[in-house]
Structure 1
Amino acid sequence: MTAHTAIETEAVLLRQDADAVATLTLNRPAARNSLSEALIEALTVELDRLAEDKSIRAVILAANGPVFSAGHDLKEMTAHRADADRGRTYFTDVLGRCSAMMQRIVRLPQPVIGAVEGVATAAGCQLVASCDLAVAGAEARFCTPGVHIGLFCSTPMVALSRNLARKHAMEMLLLGEMVRADDAHRFGLVNRVVAAGEALAEARRMALAIASKSPLTLKTGKRAFYEQLEMGLSRAYDHASQVMVENMLARDAEEGIGAFMEKREPRWQGR
């Protein structure tokens, strides 16, 4: 197993690679892993690296400390109210960069699994919702509490509304109440709830299962999944059919079908 720090000067984000799985760990426990400018930049840089890393087939997003992520760094943001424009330029920039980082998770060729222990609030909850899959420890809690401080969680709303049923998403956004792990599972925010402290282990088990599949198939399927969600029914079927034709013509599909018929393990080539 190898490990390296994405931004070594601040160590706000750690990366560990093992068995074709990369684990990114938020590393600002003293600041409740709030999404500072440095952490947003570190995540952006590392996600871009992962997008080009053909040795990695699945990604886990975890956090050090008792809080998964408390969302945006409000101290950092509030300091800019003293700017000439009361912070408008800064808020626009930092929120735009955070939104772009969240979209990188969705567009990453590899599936991303959130491993959540502790509390995930506001943009931290958005981070979980942006992952393709998520596992929560039994003591994990989720919340979009902006309404309590006069700041509706509008950007977290985008990810939540694409994961949860509308009324569940609105319940979280309008009430701002803490949601327990089992309710987050019922809402569709997380896939599985495991014993406290076991989220990372379960996420790794899932990641290893994913990593055993064809990387081309994973990339093709993930991209098509999100593309078709934005389409009407007829167009979605047309698009999915075209994707499947191209997938059928790929060497990995030929190999996988052949291996199945010959009752042997496939040998993926990623093409």
Structure 2
Amino acid sequence: MSQPSEPILLREDDGGIARLTLNRPQARNALSMALMEALDAQLVAIAADAAVKVVVIAGSGPAFCAGHDLREMRSRPGQASAEETFKLCSRVMLRLVNLPKPVIAQVHGVATAAGCQLVASCDLAVAADTARFATPGVNIGLFCSTPMVALSRAVPRKHAMEMLLTGDMIDAPRAREIGLVNRVVAEADLASATQSLAAQIAAKSPLTLAIGKEAFYRQADLPLADAYAYASAVMTRNMMAHDAAEGIDAFLAKRPPVWTGT
């Protein structure tokens, strides 16, 4: 009797941190339609789960994510199938940005094409010192146009263009240098370093995190004066929240705050 196969996406919750692990190790965690649908569904569930404060996205096996599943894409020829693939991928990436909880990529091995897009779409990224990144579509005649959207918003334009036009791999220190990842740690310390960062953020007010994440992305697309006007309105509303009053009172009284998320 055959054993049931493992889910292609694993979820583990601990201390307010939801860890989502891409679980197609034999395919370098390539983003098949099924994996993207599973990731999308979990992000929808997490958005409504008050117990989750921070999300970590990791990969099983030798790689973080090797991009789209090219074998699957070639088995589903035609414009309609291609449109379905890229539409679903874009929905997942937007879901990450719009999720009212911070998302951290925990990167090992390679993160290429849509895998690099996934890293760039997360709010933060911690990489093993052996990790490598690329948008290599140009090498196979398929420019990384959708990964370009996230990449060009995460790193300066000329660095993004160099990655997109050459398709070359960059190492983890270079990825940190251009702003694609926040921290680079020894591979043996990757999980613990990511967990430590996630726990530090999870200890903050969940309401404040949600307000701040939404405001960060919205103001970034506004002209300077409009950004200040928008941010001032956000901060005013934030000031009226219970957690803001609690945080200020706790700071003045030199005691730990007790967050209620209101």
Give the whole-Å Cα distance in 1 for the aligned partners of 2:69 and 2:41.
Answer: 19
- Give the CA deviation at 1:60: 0.5
Is 2:44 the counterpart of 1:53? Answer: no
Matched letter for residue 42 of structure 2: E
Q: Specify the SS of the correspondent of 1:190.
A: coil
Task: State whether residues 27 and 33 of structure 1, in contact with CA within 8 Å, keep that contact through their aligned partners in structure 2.
Answer: yes
TM-score by length of 1: 0.94
Is 2:219 the counterpart of 1:223? Answer: no
Is 2:62 the counterpart of 1:69? Answer: no
Is 2:40 the counterpart of 1:44? Answer: yes
Matched letter for residue 41 of structure 2: V
Q: Specify the SS of the correspondent of 1:198.
A: helix
Name the counterpart of 2:93. 102
Name the counterpart of 1:209. 200
Within the candidate set 140, 157, 169, 2:131 is matched to 140
Is 2:156 the counterpart of 1:160? Answer: no
Task: State whether residues 109 and 218 of structure 1, in contact with CA within 8 Å, keep that contact through their aligned partners in structure 2.
Answer: yes
Matched letter for residue 216 of structure 2: F
Task: State whether residues 60 and 115 of structure 1, in contact with CA within 8 Å, keep that contact through their aligned partners in structure 2.
Answer: yes
TM-score by length of 2: 0.97
Within the candidate set 167, 171, 175, 1:184 is matched to 175
- Give the CA deviation at 1:260: 0.3
Is 2:236 the counterpart of 1:245? Answer: yes
- Give the CA deviation at 1:10: 5.5
Give the whole-Å Cα distance in 1 for the aligned partners of 2:248 and 2:31.
Answer: 44
Runs (4 or more) in structure 1 with deviation over 6 Å come to none
Give the whole-Å Cα distance in 1 for the aligned partners of 2:102 and 2:141.
Answer: 35
Give the whole-Å Cα distance in 2 for the aligned partners of 1:98 and 1:59.
Answer: 18
Give the whole-Å Cα distance in 1 for the aligned partners of 2:101 and 2:195.
Answer: 14
Q: Specify the SS of the correspondent of 2:261.
A: coil
Q: Specify the SS of the correspondent of 1:68.
A: coil
Q: Specify the SS of the correspondent of 2:64.
A: strand
Give the whole-Å Cα distance in 1 for the aligned partners of 2:202 and 2:68.
Answer: 32
Q: Deviations over 1:74-93 (max 9, x none)?
A: 11111122xxxxx1011111
Q: Specify the SS of the correspondent of 2:42.
A: helix
Q: Deviations over 1:218-265 (max 9, x none)?
A: 000000000001111111000000000000000000000000001101
- Give the CA deviation at 1:214: 0.2
Q: Specify the SS of the correspondent of 2:249.
A: helix
Matched letter for residue 258 of structure 1: D
Give the whole-Å Cα distance in 1 for the aligned partners of 2:132 and 2:210.
Answer: 31
Matched letter for residue 69 of structure 1: C
Name the counterpart of 2:27. 31
- Give the CA deviation at 1:198: 2.1
Give the whole-Å Cα distance in 2 for the aligned partners of 1:9 and 1:57.
Answer: 30
Give the whole-Å Cα distance in 1 for the aligned partners of 2:5 and 2:186.
Answer: 34
Give the whole-Å Cα distance in 2 for the aligned partners of 1:96 and 1:233.
Answer: 31
Task: State whether residues 21 and 57 of structure 1, in contact with CA within 8 Å, keep that contact through their aligned partners in structure 2.
Answer: yes
Matched letter for residue 158 of structure 1: V
Is 2:194 the counterpart of 1:174? Answer: no
Give the whole-Å Cα distance in 2 for the aligned partners of 1:198 and 1:132.
Answer: 20
Give the whole-Å Cα distance in 2 for the aligned partners of 1:79 and 1:270.
Answer: 47
Unaligned runs of 5+ in 2: none
Name the counterpart of 1:5. none
Give the whole-Å Cα distance in 2 for the aligned partners of 1:214 and 1:263.
Answer: 17
Q: Specify the SS of the correspondent of 1:93.
A: helix
Give the whole-Å Cα distance in 1 for the aligned partners of 2:57 and 2:71.
Answer: 24
Matched letter for residue 118 of structure 2: L
Task: State whether residues 143 and 172 of structure 1, in contact with CA within 8 Å, keep that contact through their aligned partners in structure 2.
Answer: yes
Give the whole-Å Cα distance in 1 for the aligned partners of 2:141 and 2:92.
Answer: 25
- Give the CA deviation at 1:201: 1.4
Give the whole-Å Cα distance in 2 for the aligned partners of 1:97 and 1:126.
Answer: 13
